C-alpha cells in the first residue's frame, strides 16, 4: 500500500470505519479520539487512543473504527521495533533515540 495524500490527517465520526488493504508497515496514529483496529487473521484487536500509534503487522485487510469522533494520521513506512506495537509519542521518540545511538547515527 502506498499513501499519497495531500492531507495526511483524516476525520472519522464515532462509529465510522476505514478499511485498508495490504497496508503492512503503515503507521496509524490517533491524533484525537479513540480507534479500534482489527487486522485480518489476527485474533487480538487493538485500541489506540489519542497520542498513540500502531504499525500494521499483517498483509490483508485492516479495519479502523472510530469509537469517538477522531482524527487519524496514516503514514506508509517500514515497521520499527516490534510490528504492531502500540507506542505513545514519548515512547516512539525514545525508541528512535535508542536505535540511533545503537547504530552510531
**Contact in structure between 56 and 39 (CB atoms under 8 Å):** yes
CA separation for the pair 53, 28 (Å, rounded): 5
Which pLDDT value is given to residue 9?
86
**DSSP assignment of 12-30:** E-TT-EEEEES-TTEEEEE
State pLDDT tens for residues 34-52. 999 999 999 999 999 999 9
Query: What CATH number matches the domain at 9-103, 3.40.190.10, 2.60.120.10, 3.40.250.10, 2.102.10.10?
Result: 2.60.120.10
Would you list the domain boundaries of the chain?
9-103
Q: Mean pLDDT per 10-residue run, the chain (105 residues)? A: 59 94 91 96 93 92 95 76 51 60 62
| pTM score of the predicted model | 0.67
Amino acid at each position: 500500500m502506498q499513501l499519497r495524500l495531500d492531507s495526511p490527517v483524516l476525520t472519522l465520526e464515532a462509529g465510522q470505519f476505514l478499511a485498508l488493504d495490504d497496508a503492512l508497515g503503515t503507521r496509524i496514529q490517533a491524533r484525537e479520539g479513540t480507534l479500534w483496529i482489527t487486522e485480518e487473521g489476527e485474533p487480538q484487536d487493538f485500541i489506540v487512543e489519542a497520542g498513540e500509534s500502531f504499525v500494521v503487522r499483517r498483509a490483508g485487510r485492516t479495519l479502523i473504527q472510530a469509537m469517538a469522533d477522531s482524527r487519524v494520521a496514516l503514514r506508509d513506512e517500514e515497521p520499527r521495533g516490534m510490528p504492531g506495537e502500540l507506542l505513545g509519542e514519548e515512547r516512539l521518540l525514545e525508541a528512535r533515540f535508542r536505535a540511533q545511538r545503537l547504530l552510531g547515527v
